[in-house]
């Protein structure tokens, strides 16, 4: 009897386990099994893969491709270079659409998406969804004016989205308004103070777009990590209009952007760490611009060879109610036509702190204080190596209210500044200041995604 009960129990348990084992996911091949990518998605169920063979896909069923809320993978068989979604510049046409609550389990992998034309997201449109985009090339798309809408997100548009974009290139896109490369916006809900959206760009290249490379608006907390933001005709990265949760830029190369490197404005928060900000140009703040109501925190960054046609070659701070902290940074070889070749801090009631940093070898055409100009009531500079020391700092009419402590004036002994190697030679008296990984005994590299750049190579780019 006991043995019989044992067998009954085992049969029941095995039956329960078998019921909970999912059936094998299906792979639907386009065009072998289904003629278009959309028909492949329509035939798929959660967990399936739509595998797309090499080719150029156009027309009905192969543009405005809608995931329809399914948790599936749409993947090219042979990568983005051989699998192209061509929207043919047709009005109101994007490559892919996510607007039905897709989660990160909805994956788009390995496509070139080009020639889209839409007021929101010429390449990819995402609304209240959070898919994963990887190994894609999003190029030559445009966000165009359509009625009252002026065009947002030439390459990628995300609203209320926590999408992840990784190992992708977003280049040569344009818009008639904001975010020619990538545009993220969150709906402001003042009844929920902690309500914000957290998209991620990881190991991406955002380059050569007609305006800002990356634009964050309202309640967005974007993280840009291990990426390159290069040669955009606007600012490289912008966060503005109550992006209070903070835009985080980590281990990135921000270079050769024609509207400046990074900008934080209108009650927003920006954190920049472990990054290399170089050879950007702007009217104000060639490397970084912080507006009157912004909170900006910059740490462990090289800010070099940036240019401002007015003030603030490396960093421009225009703050009345904000807070700006710069620590463990190397700020060198920046230039401005006006005040502050290195840093120009024009302060109202803000708090400005510069600590543990090197400000050396910057230039200003119109003033005798090229390294650091500070005007305003609340400024603190501690434990910094500044060329010509306190005498080099133009302190404005409120200079007697500033705090300066432990300022030294010694050659930091860069290994090879002329070739972009800002490591410090062994024995430098500035060794405790600036980017702490930049010592002569450390490797002369900056890891950016899967690539590794020498400082000299960064200089030449």
Kindly tell me if the per-residue pLDDT of 230 is higher than 60: yes
- 223 in any annotated domain: no
- Model-level pTM greater than 0.85? yes
Q: What's the domain count of the chain?
A: 1
State the pLDDT at residue 377. 66
- 313 in any annotated domain: yes
> Would you place residue 109 in the very low, low, confident or very high pLDDT band (cuts 50, 70, 90)?
very high
Q: Is 193 exposed, middle or buried (0-12, 13-18, 19+ CB in 10 A)?
A: exposed
Q: From 118, 111, 127, 221, select the one nearest 169 (Cα to Cα).
A: 111
- 266 in any annotated domain: no
- 432 in any annotated domain: yes
What is d(CA 52, CA 39) in angstroms, rounded to the nearest whole number?
12
- 151 in any annotated domain: no
User: Which phi and psi angles does 81 have, rounded to 5°?
Assistant: -65, -25
- 371 in any annotated domain: yes
% residues pLDDT > 90 (the chain): 67
**Angle at CA of residue 114, ends 45 and 254, nearest 5°:** 105
- 37 in any annotated domain: no
Per the model's pLDDT, the better-predicted residue between 8 and 118 turns out to be: 118
- DSSP per residue, 287-334: SEEE-TT-EEEEES-EEES-EEEEE-SSEEEEESS-EEEEES-EEES-
State the pLDDT at residue 393. 77
What is d(CA 116, CA 119) in angstroms, rounded to the nearest whole number?
10
Measured CA distances, 334 to 115, 207, 293, 363 (Å)? 38, 22, 25, 6
Q: Coil, strand or helix: which one is 306?
A: coil
What is d(CA 27, CA 18) in angstroms, rounded to the nearest whole number?
22
Given a contact cutoff of 8 angstroms between Cβ atoms, the answer to whether 444 and 454 are in contact is: yes
Helix ranges, 124-269 (H)? none
Residue 133: Cβ within 10 Å count: 27
State the pLDDT at residue 413. 94
Which of the residue ranges 56-60, 92-96, 343-347, 375-379 would you say has the lowest mean pLDDT? 375-379
DSSP structural state of residue 94:
-
> Would you place residue 249 in the very low, low, confident or very high pLDDT band (cuts 50, 70, 90)?
very high
31 prior amide bond cis, ω within 30? yes
- 309 in any annotated domain: yes
Place of tokens 């049969």: 11
**Angle at CA of residue 203, ends 297 and 55, nearest 5°:** 145
Residue 316: its H or E element: strand 315-319
User: Which phi and psi angles does 458 have, rounded to 5°?
Assistant: -60, -40
What is d(CA 387, CA 412) in angstroms, rounded to the nearest whole number?
9
> Would you place residue 351 in the very low, low, confident or very high pLDDT band (cuts 50, 70, 90)?
confident
Domain of residue 303 covers 287-461
């Amino acid at each position: 009897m006991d043995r019989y009960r044992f067998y009954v129990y085992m049969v029941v348990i095995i039956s329960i386990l078998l019921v909970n084992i999912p059936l094998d996911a299906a792979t639907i091949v386009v065009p072998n099994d289904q003629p278009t990518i959309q028909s492949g998605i329509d035939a798929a169920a959660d967990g399936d893969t739509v595998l797309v063979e090499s080719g150029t896909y156009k027309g009905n069923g192969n543009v405005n491709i809608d995931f329809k809320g399914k948790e599936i993978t749409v993947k090219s068989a042979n990568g983005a270079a051989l699998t192209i979604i061509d929207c043919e510049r047709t009005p109101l046409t994007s490559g892919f659409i996510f607007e039905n609550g897709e989660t990160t389990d909805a994956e788009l992998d390995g496509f070139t998406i080009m020639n889209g034309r839409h007021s929101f997201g010429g390449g990819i449109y995402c609304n209240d969804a959070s898919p994963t985009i990887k190994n894609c090339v999003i190029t030559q798309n445009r966000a165009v004016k359509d009625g009252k809408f002026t065009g947002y997100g030439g390459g990628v548009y995300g609203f209320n989205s926590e999408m992840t974009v990784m190992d992708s290139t977003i280049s040569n896109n344009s818009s008639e308004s904001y975010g020619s490369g990538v545009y993220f916006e969150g709906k402001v809900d003042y009844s929920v103070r902690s309500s914000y959206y957290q998209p991620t760009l990881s190991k991406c290249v955002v380059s050569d777009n007609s305006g800002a490379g990356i634009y964050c608006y309202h309640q967005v907390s974007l993280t840009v990590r291990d990426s390159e933001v290069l040669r955009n005709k606007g600012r490289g990265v912008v966060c503005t209009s109550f992006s209070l949760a903070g835009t985080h830029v980590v281990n990135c190369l921000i270079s050769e952007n024609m509207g400046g490197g990074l900008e934080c404005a209108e009650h927003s928060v920006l954190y920049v760490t472990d990054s290399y900000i170089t050879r950007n140009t702007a009217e104000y703040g060639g490397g970084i611009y912080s507006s009157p109501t912004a909170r900006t925190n910059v740490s462990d960054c090289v800010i070099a060879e940036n240019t401002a046609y007015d003030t603030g070659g490396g960093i421009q701070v225009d703050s009345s109610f904000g807070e700006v902290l710069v620590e463990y940074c190397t700020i060198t070889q920046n230039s401005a036509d006006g005040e502050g070749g290195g840093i120009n801090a024009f302060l109202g009631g803000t708090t400005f702190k510069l600590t543990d940093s090197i400000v050396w070898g910057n230039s200003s055409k119109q003033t005798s204080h090229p390294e650091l100009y500070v005007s305003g009531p609340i400024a603190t500079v501690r434990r910094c190596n500044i060329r010509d020391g306190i005498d080099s700092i133009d302190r404005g009419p409120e200079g007697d209210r500033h705090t300066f402590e432990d300022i030294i004036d010694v050659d930091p002994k860069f290994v090879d500044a002329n070739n972009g190697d800002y490591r410090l030679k062994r024995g430098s008296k500035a060794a405790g200041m600036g980017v702490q990984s930049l010592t002569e005994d450390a490797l002369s590299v900056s890891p950016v995604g899967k690539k590794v750049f020498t400082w000299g190579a960064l200089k030449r780019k």
